């Protein structure tokens, strides 16, 4: 009605939006070359085993070392990649870098599972070929490469994605549902999703010790995930108290700034040692 329409603000020109689009347009133009020039890299964040306190896995997080803008986080360019076909070569770049790094660590005697994030758009048969090619080239077993898909991505086209996730599992890859709790996944989804790992979103983890309702959710979600045969990862462990609380809630692995920030591969020895020193200090013996 006319009355309703009056309530809608007239937007002639949204400067912030226009600026954002201009920047995105610019980045889109540069991303293809950035991929070719090797400006797209990955940082790694440790995941700690809640009972041993040892680093058992890493999450690979894409970064763009931009020649003028500095180090860009995915929030600045992932949208651009996802809305164009560049998400496919970007994902391939990440998988190639990770496979090479995993092979190096394996040769050095450190067995680490590395998790790679996947957008809904790349969940197709081509991805299977890409994974197989890179793993074979570097002699890395499928079980060393975990794949993370958000609840929202997995739900977007549920039948296609669950067939693909099932095939990844069949090939030996661990599969994680990322940011669990932020989307609209229901219990049917949880019962049928072919995942081996559930990552509880940091909205339920950060500040866990001070919030009985978050504790109730974290505790029950991990109990349910365990009964469904999944491992549980807590994201967003930012304090020693979060670390104690996620262990009390029954999570298997923990990840967050308190345990270690994402860093380039070269800095991992320092970050891993620091994470393990922390968990040693803050875990009661026995
Ligand atoms: P995500 O997969 O949920 O990754 C965790 C994000 O939370 C990372 O942000 C990480 O730096 C941040 N984080 C880790 N610990 C903490 C903490 O204790 N507190 C807080 N506040 N944040 C923490 P980042 O690196 O900016 O990545 C953002 C998102 O971009 C990722 O969220 C993932 O969805 C996406 N992404 C990252 N790399 C890739 C990639 O290679 N491919 C695709 N398709 N998506 C990616
Ligand atoms: Mg993730
Ligand atoms: Mg996440
Ligand atoms: Mg997240």
- What's the token pair of residue 235? 């994201």
What is the structure's pLDDT at 152?
Answer: 81
What is the structure's pLDDT at 215?
Answer: 95
Q: What is the pTM of this model?
A: 0.93
CA-to-CA separations, 205 to 129, 141, 246, in angstroms, rounded: 36, 31, 7
The neighbouring-strand residues paired with 70 are 66
**What is the rounded CA–CA span in Å between residue 208 and residue 241?**
8
CA-to-CA separations, 84 to 3, 17, 18, 24, 157, in angstroms, rounded: 40, 19, 19, 11, 18
| CA angle, residues 178, 151, 237, in degrees to nearest 5 | 30
Ligand 1: residue whose CA is nearest its atom 19: 236
What is the structure's pLDDT at 7?
Answer: 56
Q: How far is the CA of 179 from the centre of ligand 2 (A)?
A: 7
What is the structure's pLDDT at 183?
Answer: 83
For residues 13 and 36, the answer to whether their CB atoms sit within 8 Å is no
Ligand 1: residue whose CA is nearest its atom 27: 74
Q: Which ligand is nearest to the Cα of residue 118, counting in written order? A: 1
Question: ipTM, 2 decimals?
Answer: 0.98
**What is the rounded CA–CA span in Å between residue 87 and residue 78?**
8
What is the structure's pLDDT at 2?
Answer: 43
Q: Pocket residues for ligand 1 (CB within 6 Å)?
A: 45, 61-62, 73-75, 78, 94, 117-119, 148, 178-179, 202, 236-238, 255-257, 262
- What's the token pair of residue 27? 């980045």
Ligand 1: residue whose CA is nearest its atom 6: 61
CA-to-CA separations, 110 to 57, 268, 272, in angstroms, rounded: 10, 12, 11
Q: How far is the CA of 119 from the centre of ligand 4 (A)?
A: 13
**Tally of CA atoms within 13 A in the half-sphere of 138 that contains its CB:** 23
Phi/psi of residue 77, nearest 5 degrees: -140, -5
**What is the rounded CA–CA span in Å between residue 47 and residue 112?**
10
Other beta carbons less than 10 A from residue 1's beta carbon: 5
What is the structure's pLDDT at 1?
Answer: 39
Q: Across the 286 residues of the chain, what is the mean pLDDT of every consecutive 10-residue run?
A: 51 72 88 96 98 97 96 95 94 98 94 96 95 98 97 79 94 96 84 94 95 95 96 98 97 98 97 97 75
What is the structure's pLDDT at 161?
Answer: 87
Q: Which ligand is nearest to the Cα of residue 176, counting in written order? A: 2
Pocket test for ligand 1, best of 47, 61, 181, 253 (most atoms within 8 A of CB): 61
Helices (H), 73-171: 74-83, 87-107, 125-138, 151-156, 158-170
- Ligand 1 atom closest to Cα of 150? 34
Q: Which ligand is nearest to the Cα of residue 61, counting in written order? A: 1
């Amino acid at each position: 009605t006319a009355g309703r329409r009056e309530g809608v603000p007239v937007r002639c020109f949204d400067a912030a939006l226009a600026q954002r689009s201009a920047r995105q347009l610019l980045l889109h133009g540069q991303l293809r070359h950035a991929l070719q020039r090797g400006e797209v890299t990955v940082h790694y964040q440790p995941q700690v085993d809640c009972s041993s306190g040892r680093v058992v896995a890493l999450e690979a997080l894409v970064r763009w070392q931009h020649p003028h803008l500095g180090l860009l986080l995915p929030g600045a360019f992932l949208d651009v990649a996802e809305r164009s076909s560049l998400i496919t070569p970007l994902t391939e770049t990440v998988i190639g870098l990770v496979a090479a790094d995993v092979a190096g660590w394996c040769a050095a005697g450190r067995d680490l599972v590395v998790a790679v994030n996947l957008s809904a758009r790349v969940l197709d048969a081509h991805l299977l070929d890409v994974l197989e090619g890179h793993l074979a080239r570097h002699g890395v077993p499928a079980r060393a490469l975990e794949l993370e898909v958000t609840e929202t991505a997995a739900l977007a086209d549920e039948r296609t994605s669950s067939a693909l996730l099932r095939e990844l599992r069949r090939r030996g890859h661990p599969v994680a549902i990322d940011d669990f709790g932020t989307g609209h996944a229901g219990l049917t989804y949880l019962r049928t999703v072919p995942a081996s790992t559930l990552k509880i979103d940091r909205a339920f983890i950060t500040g866990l010790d001070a919030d009985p309702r978050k504790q109730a959710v974290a505790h029950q979600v991990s109990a349910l995930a365990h009964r469904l045969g999944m491992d549980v990862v807590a994201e967003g462990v930012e304090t020693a108290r979060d670390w104690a609380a996620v262990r009390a809630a029954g999570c298997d692995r923990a990840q967050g700034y308190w345990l270690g920030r994402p860093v380039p591969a070269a800095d991992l020895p320092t970050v891993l040692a620091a994470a393990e020193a922390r968990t040693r200090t803050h875990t009661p013996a026995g």
